[in-house]
């Protein structure tokens, strides 16, 4: 089972830790944060070599549009999250109702190699986008667990995310894009009253 990143996934991990048969399941986390949470819950951590055998991935999202395309990467783990999601037989997304929008309104995280920082920014600007280097609370460049940088990239609109995703990935130096256009199998919309609305495909 693959585990995405973020506070929603951390909650899911704590619930998985209560399963009586959790010892029969192996987990692959996408971040040190979730790995630490999983270890605290006594979950078995699998080697990355098991990624092609993933049956199920639990993950969250930063935004989900009306066609169930997603923006992910707010926590900086978009590269590993996309690897797991692309390999999984089934994907389950859990997100707060505020994350569901008609069209995207937030920037798209783009993970880049540090050497390509200026060249990728130049190319994105030529495409009409506004890239801003993500920084930490102290103003230092945010570095992913893979040793890369993230450009928070704003677009006036993204008419076709399925077309935009490969277009951005084709820029030399771009390692992964926070547009996730593979439709998940199940979406849980968490409502303020504690109930869930479920979408299945």
Tens-place pLDDT, residues 98-123: 999 999 999 999 999 999 999 999 99
> What percent of the chain shows pLDDT beyond 70?
100
Encode 88-103: b = buried (16+ Cβ within 10 Å), e = exposed.
beebbbbbeeebbeee
Q: Average pLDDT of 184-191?
A: 96
Quick one: CA torsion of 78, 138, 125, 98, rounded to 10 degrees?
50
152 is catalytic: no
Model confidence at 166, pLDDT cuts 50, 70, 90, reads very high
Phi, psi of 34 (to 5 degrees): -75, -35
Element (H, E) at 87: helix 78-87
CA pair distance 145, 31, nearest whole angstrom: 8
**Chain mean pLDDT for the chain:** 96
CATH number of 108-179: 3.30.70.260
53 band by pLDDT with thresholds 50, 70 and 90 = very high
Average pLDDT over residues 80-86: 96
State mean pLDDT over 146-157: 97
pLDDT of residue 121: 98
Going from N- to C-terminal start, the domains of the chain cover 2-100+181-200, 108-179
Task: Write the class of the CATH domain 2-100+181-200.
Answer: alpha beta
pLDDT class of 128 with cuts at 50, 70, 90: very high
Res. 97 pLDDT band, cuts 50 70 90: very high
Which of 37, 81, 152, 176 is an active site residue? 81
In whole angstroms, what is the distance from residue 119 CA to residue 168 CA?
A: 13
């Amino acid at each position: 089972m693959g585990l995405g990143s973020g506070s929603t996934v951390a909650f899911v991990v704590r619930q998985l830790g209560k399963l009586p048969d959790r010892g029969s399941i192996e987990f692959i986390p996408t971040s040190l944060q979730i790995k630490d949470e999983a270890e605290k819950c006594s979950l078995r951590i699998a080697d990355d070599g098991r990624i092609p055998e993933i049956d199920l991935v639990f993950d969250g999202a930063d935004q989900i549009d009306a066609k169930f395309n997603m923006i992910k990467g707010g926590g900086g783990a978009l590269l590993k999250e996309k690897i797991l999601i692309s390999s999984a037989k089934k994907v389950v997304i859990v997100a707060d109702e505020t994350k569901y929008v008609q069209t995207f309104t937030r920037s798209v995280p783009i993970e880049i190699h540090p050497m390509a920082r200026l060249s990728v920014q130049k190319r994105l600007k030529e495409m009409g986008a506004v890239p801003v280097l993500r920084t930490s609370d102290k103003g230092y460049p945010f570095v992913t667990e893979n040793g890369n940088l993230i450009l928070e990239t704003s677009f006036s609109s993204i008419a076709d995310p399925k077309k935009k995703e490969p277009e951005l990935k084709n820029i030399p130096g771009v390692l992964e894009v926070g547009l996730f256009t593979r439709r998940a199998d199940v979406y849980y919309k968490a409502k303020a009253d504690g109930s869930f609305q479920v979408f299945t495909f």
